[in-house]
Amino acid sequence: MSEQVKVGISDYKISESPNQLVTIGLGSCIGIALHEPVTKAGALIHIMLPESTGFKDTTKWEKFADLAIPKVVDELKKKTGKKKIVAKIAGGSSMFSFNNKNDTMQIGKRNTLAVEKALKDLGIPILGDHTGGKMGRSMFVDLETFEVTVRMVNRELHIL
């Protein structure tokens, strides 16, 4: 019997097939789905910010891409005993319009770039993504097939 495992904002969960990992409310935040194909175990991280630099308190490390991704990847590798991990990502929207084109105000874009860099630095390929735009998303990860479904208002997209 499969279970739907919910991941909150600045949170992560690790589970295995046949379970499904779910996160809702991805605006400028990014959902990072990680999967180990042999054991069919995986993780879903819901990050809020690209980096922890400049923050004195990083005890809630799950909110930062630069801290959360390496820690969760390490935990998933220890759990599975495997080294091959793949990823799919969604989110990173620009939910609000700013007259200023300064990239520091574009948190969704900065989140996307930080997640891509962290995964690249760890040698983890991104097999699918649905990032950018101006819409919020929810993300559903099937750990059996690693099919990721991204839902938006009045629209659904499967990332294969």
The CATH number of residue 19's host domain is 3.30.1330.200
Active-site annotation holder among 5, 7, 14, 29? 29
Asked whether the CA dihedral 160, 119, 12, 70 is positive or negative, the reply is positive
111 neighbors 49 (Cβ within 8 angstroms): yes
Range(s) of the domain holding residue 52: 4-159
129 neighbors 158 (Cβ within 8 angstroms): no
pLDDT in tens, 63-92: 999 999 999 999 999 999 988 999 999 999
The tokens for 42 are 């995986």
* Plot region of 54 (φ>0 → left; ψ -120 to 50 → alpha; else → beta): left
First to last CA, the chain: 24
Packing angle of the helix pair 107-121, 65-80 (nearest 10 deg): 40
Give the residue among 127, 129, 135, 12 at the shortest CA–CA distance from 62. 12
Q: In whole numbers, what is the pLDDT of the chain averaged over residues?
A: 92
Residue 143 has pLDDT above 80, yes or no: yes
> pLDDT-derived band of residue 53, with 50, 70 and 90 as boundaries?
very high
36 neighbors 101 (Cβ within 8 angstroms): no
55 three-class SS: coil
pLDDT, residue 129, reads: 96
> pLDDT-derived band of residue 46, with 50, 70 and 90 as boundaries?
very high
pLDDT in tens, 99-109: 555 555 689 99
pLDDT, residue 87, reads: 98
29 is catalytic: yes
pLDDT, residue 104, reads: 55
> pLDDT-derived band of residue 2, with 50, 70 and 90 as boundaries?
confident
Asked, as a colleague might, if the bond just before 18 is cis with ω within 30 of 0, I would say yes
143 neighbors 24 (Cβ within 8 angstroms): no
Domain count, the chain: 1
